[in-house]
Amino acid sequence: MSHKIKVEVLTIKDEIVSLRRYFHQHPEPSLKEYETAKKIQQELKALGIPYETVGETGTIAVLEGKRGGGKTILLRADIDALELEDAKDLPYSSENPGLNHACGHDGHTATLLGAAKVLKKFADQISGTIKLVFQQAEEIGAGARLFVEGGHLEDVDEVFSLHLDSSLPVGTLASRPGAIAASCDIFKIKVHGVSAHVAQPHVGKDALLTASSIVCELQNIVARVVDPLDPVVVGIGVMRAGTRYNIVPNLAELEGTVRCFSHETRRRVVQRVEQIALNVATAHETQLEFEVYEAAAPCINHPESAAFAARVAREIVADSQVITEEKKALGADDFADFLAVKPGVYTRVGTANPADKNTQYPHHHEKFDIDEDALVLATQYYVLYALNYLAK
């Protein structure tokens, strides 16, 4: 079967590459992927695969096996781009100023469409159902929840997703059990004080001093609250305060993030951030506003699914090219929302060509690009995981 799939995918390689380049030329930001969704739905309609829109720009298609019965598997690709200039000078460089598919989502979308075409051809051999999810707004952690809250996973038995990865050489496939990507919580803190002349600081309540103290005290969470063997990041990226050198600021704002690898640690650390901020503000006799946006849960692969994905990978590439001990990353992916409610796995597909520097830039870099041979492997991975799972 794997040889047949490889032949089928190679037959449509040019189509997949063409789709990837189309999406790369026409990137759209999170929750505004209108033309991207339109193109996806045009391709699905041409394949005769029924679909519906989720939210305003998400798409879910359903491919029923003709043998009836069986389980249901969900394959997911994310579709949004980044607010980043495209610094490449190539025929398929972005035509939308200030937007760039610098994370590989164009490749995810193209390969899942390619997989849909192959799976449709094998529908008469399938027992079960395949749901194809083209998910919006991964970059802001707002898309996956629309599918979960919409009930689209209620009848699903297994979920599978992949991510192109420029840190891995093309030809490699990675599947690691357990936590693979961190949670992402974004918090905002506003400190309200009282203005005064800096020559009379006792008359005011210094919001800037309070905010500075909060930044320092938050470092104690990683240093003294969390087990040293449990990786956690509490980072502050924004601090705004003051209007003039001789005025005690009456407002200070902080923005930061918490990254963790377990649901329990995540809850504890976020609660601790709020508690520390509130206590410091109270000690300084200032007022505090705290809000947190839960962008993504920790992405935790189910052990059986990860092992199964590794076995599938060995049907596609040599055993030496299958990575099962990939390092965890403190980046986040909201596919975690799917994994929080259903068993499944989030895998990686290498895209870096050692002989081509253009394919070695990190994700979210303005010159990010891929070796397009990886698209063939990604398409095979989608197809074979689904077929092998439903045949179990």
What confidence score (pLDDT) does residue 274 get?
A: 98
- Say what the pTM is: 0.93
Indicate if the pLDDT at residue 11 is higher than 90. yes
Of 78, 66, 41, 26, nearest to 334 by C-alpha is 78
Confidence of residue 1 (pLDDT cuts 50, 70, 90): confident
Instruction: Give the pLDDT band (50/70/90) at residue 272.
Output: very high
What are the tokens at 50?
Answer: 């029924």
Q: Which residues are catalytic?
A: 80, 138
Could you give the 3-state DSSP secondary structure of residue 46? helix
For the 184-296 domain, the top CATH level (class) is alpha beta
Q: In which band, very low, low, confident or very high, does the pLDDT at 19 lie, cut at 50, 70 and 90?
A: very high
pLDDT exceeds 90 at position 69: no
CA torsion, ordered 338, 166, 105, 317, to nearest 10 deg: -70
Q: What is the mean pLDDT of the chain?
A: 97
Written as one letter, the residue type at 314 is: R
- Write down the CATH superfamily of domain 2-180+300-391: Zn peptidases (3.40.630.10)
87-143: pLDDT as tens digits = 999 999 999 999 999 999 999 999 999 999 999 999 999 999 999 999 999 999 999
**pLDDT class of 55 with cuts at 50, 70, 90:** very high
- CA nearest neighbour of 34 among 60, 58, 62: 58
CATH 3.30.70.360 positions along the chain are 184-296
Residue ranges matching CATH 3.40.630.10 in the chain: 2-180+300-391
In whole angstroms, what is the distance from residue 344 CA to residue 193 CA?
Answer: 49
Tens-place pLDDT, residues 154-190: 999 999 999 999 999 999 999 999 999 999 999 999 9
Match 């192959």 to its residue by tokens.
118
Residue 327, pLDDT above cutoff 90: no
279 three-state secondary structure: helix
What strands lie across the sheet with 51-54, from one edge to the other?
51-54, 58-64, 129-135, 72-78, 158-169, 344-352, 173-174, 322-323
Give the end-to-end CA distance of the chain in Å, rounded to a whole number. 14
Is 182 within 8 Å of 297 (Cβ atoms)?
no
Residues 6 or more apart whose Cβ sits within 8 Å of residue 318: none
Strands in 184-192's sheet, in edge-to-edge order, are: 233-241, 251-259, 184-192, 287-296
